Chain A
């Protein structure tokens, strides 16, 4: 499967999750090739994929956007990225998006049987993500709280 086709279910799932959970409309950009590494905007949640596909799903945004998203989701007023709840809120969103997307993919492609790892969160300045021998594909989503980037890297398992 082409990676640009593979990212479509993730975009669809994000659209639904942002609308239903955060009451945000998103404007989606074009799928772009990223090569084997990409620079984070400051806050990245990563969910691993195993089974018929092997790779990662990244939800990447700036730290301000992550805080705004946590505020919207929890209804609290967080100010710092170092508060654990902000990280957990981001993880939960990524978990739901990847869960929905993978359910779709597994339903359409019977036998693929992709499974997800629990999400991990990284935040920092000038952070880069490197995936050896894999190609990433990204879609930029614009919303009222800032830009959120979806990034999928995967290969079909042998």
Chain B
């Protein structure tokens, strides 16, 4: 290829390679600055893998909603979850829709994890924001999965999630009332 074509092509390539990650940064900053903060009750499970480092797998409580028409929902299809805040201050599902909720409704993009067909049929929702990466100083040993929410509401663990136009960023995880950033470091 001649240099007259190669150089503009190179500059275009460089611009694209900078533009995409910069857009990612800009978009994330926009969500963090203008989004609304919610607290999602979770069961935190700590993981460490050589490839991905340490992270917390976020398993959400209250990700199920009753439905009368199970045939309307397909596993893995994208849905919009309208949110409201319950009396304890945690995010809870208001309703699930295939269309973007209108007005000022707070909603988050999610997926149908699976449909339970029983006497009381329900939809189980899968949120895409299901990981929180830990920094080196926050390394913790693997802990068992909590299958049930604790009976004491003050000991509920939750993820702090900023939401804007359906997109979400997890900014912190609070376990036993203490931010994961301030948790005492455990030996591996």
**Pair from one complex:** no
- Taking beta carbons and an 8 Å cutoff, which residues of A are in contact with B? none
- Taking beta carbons and an 8 Å cutoff, which residues of B are in contact with A? none
